[in-house]
Structures are given as C-alpha cells and as structure tokens.
Homo-oligomer: A and B are copies of this chain.
Amino acid sequence: MSGVRVAVIGLGAMGLPMAAHLAGEFPVTAFDVDAERRADAVSRGAAEATTPAGAAADADVVLLAVRDQQQVEAALFGPDGVASSLRPGAVVVLTSTVGPQAARDTAARLPDHRLVDAPVSGGPTRAGCGDLLVVVGADAEALAVAGPVLDRLASTCTVVGPNPGDGQALKAINQLLAGVHIAAAAEAVALARGIGLDPAAVVAALGKGAASSFVLSDRGPRMVEAYADGAEVRSRLDIFVKDMGIVSELARESRVPTPLASAAHQLYLLGEQAGLGAADDSAVVTVLSPKGR
C-alpha cells in the first residue's frame, strides 16, 4: 500500500465506486451522511468516519464526491467539516461539477490549503475501475500530492490550467455538448416515433454517419427502453438540471448566446417537474412524447 492517506467524502453513485477502487491502493477513510452507504464502503475495503472532520483528520488527500456546491460547503465548512481538521500540507480534490466560480470561491475559503479542481466524468462503472476522464485545474505543487490519487482514478487526465476553476470550465463545455446531445437524441427518437419509423432501427441506422455521437449510441437504446420497462438508472436526470444551470450561468456572465443549451435546460426542468429527477436521464424522451401515446 502507498503511504498516501485518502479521505473520500460523499459515497453516492460516483463516490462509492471511487472509494472502493482507491482502497485497493491507499488507506481510505470514507464518510457519507447515510450510514448504509458508509457500511457499503467498509465492506469494500475502506475505514469509516462518522463526520467529514473525522474522515479528513489523518488524510493527505481529501476527495470530495458530493452532488453540488451546497453539499461541498456543508462538507468543508459545516459543523464537523473538513476545514476544521485538515492537516498542514493536505490537499482537497473537488471531483463534483459545481462551475468555475464556485471552485474559485471554495479555494479562496481554504487559504492555508491547496484545492485541486478535478471534475470527473464517465459514470459509476468506469469510476469503479479507474477509467474516468478527469479535467484538472491545479498547480504543480498540488498535483505532486494529489497526482497518485488522480492516476488511480483516471484513464485520461487533462490538466487545463494551474488554477481552481480551470477544470470546471472545460467540464462545463463538456456538459453543454453532452446535455444538448441527449436532448437531441430524445427529439430524434420522439420524432421518429411520431412519424411512424421504428426508433430502434433509426438509432441503429444513424449510429455511424453524420448524425453519430457517443450519446446517440449510449442513450438512444435506453430511450427506446424508456418506452418499454424504463432504463436502469446510470446517470440521474437531475444532474443535467444542475449542470445545464451551470452552463447557462457561464453563458450569461460571458454574454454568449446559447439557445440550444437553454432549450435543453428547460427540457430537463420539465423532466424534473414530471417526477423524473431521479430517473435515468434518457427518460427525458418521455417529456416530448409520453409513454402510451
């Protein structure tokens, strides 16, 4: 085992498999507000802490894998937060997608420690086998500490720039494209169905030409399933409510019109209003053309 001691805060769809995979190489102490998730982490090789401060107390690298900026703030600066127990020289790795400004603000509130801005993508399965894509904003000193942990998690690690927020900026552009592509695939499947084509055949036929995308190949078949039994939840719809909100805010601040990203954001909001927030994001297709119609 390596000497780097790791704390993982947040044991959800991404945090739990990351904690388990990290525990194969490092001593890991894990925290989640949910005791059942903590027990899952223990069964997969981690030690348990009952507060963020407890998890971070001995750690060289504290990895945050929570849902949004509100949870980041609670984990770091709330009661028994990480900030209250962080050792000198320890670094905080932020894997959540929160937007550039939130990453910069968080770094500013940790003046005595370095923040590695490192939003991840790839989903739970890839999180469990070190096959994530990570886009990083961090300086060389922070990377010297956090590097072994990022290497364990990522198959592709792109350092965008030296500052917190740089990784979030690239991740936001990634989410703009992925979020629009999912909504476009939904429109394609719904319209194919509406004009009497077989959606599964359409997805297969268009998978290699000018219309092809990772999303069409990945979500297209799940959208077809959404009309049958519903697709297994691999990535929650409300993640894109949050992430397209980050995109919209960036676009507004930089005065760049993004009408498609805005329309996609509205579709995810409609999906959430329809009770699909915790469903697989492919369920957004049923907003456009409901099941049974």
Contacts and interface: CB of A to CB of B under 8 A. Distances in A.
Contacts of A39: none
A215 B214 CA distance: 11
Copies in the complex: 2
A256 B170 contact: no
Contacts of A175: 211
Nearest to A166: B197
A260 interface: yes
A8 interface: no
A260 B263 contact: yes
A158 B121 contact: no
Contact of A288 (B156, B172, B213, B257): B257
B176 A209 contact: no
Nearest to A261: B187
A283 interface: no
B211 A197 contact: no
A7 interface: no
Main secondary structure of the interface of A (DSSP, over half): helix
A15 interface: no
Contacts of A33: none
Most B CB atoms within 10 A — which of A188, A208, A218?
Answer: A188
Contacts of A289: 256
B210 A174 contact: yes
Contact of A251 (B178, B194, B205, B247): B194
Interface string A223-264: 000000000000000000000000100110011111111111
Contact of A181 (B184, B258, B263): B184
A190 interface: yes
Interface string A260-278: 1111101100000000000
Contacts of A172: 191, 195
Contact of A187 (B100, B160, B180, B205): B180
Given A178-B211, A260-B264, A288-B257, A173 B202 contact: yes
A156 to B, nearest CB: 8
Contacts of A257: 190, 288
B174 A121 contact: no
Contacts of A188: 173, 176-177
A86 interface: no
7 contacts: A160-B205, A176-B184, A180-B180, A190-B258, A259-B263, A260-B267, A262-B263
Pairs of residues from A and B, 10 with the lowest C-beta to C-beta distance, nearest first: A194-B254, A177-B211, A213-B213, A194-B256, A180-B184, A259-B263, A187-B258, A178-B210, A174-B211, A212-B214
Interface of A: 100, 121-122, 133, 135, 156, 158, 160, 169-170, 172-178, 180-181, 183-185, 187-188, 190-197, 202, 205-206, 208-216, 218, 247, 250-251, 254-264, 266-267, 288-289
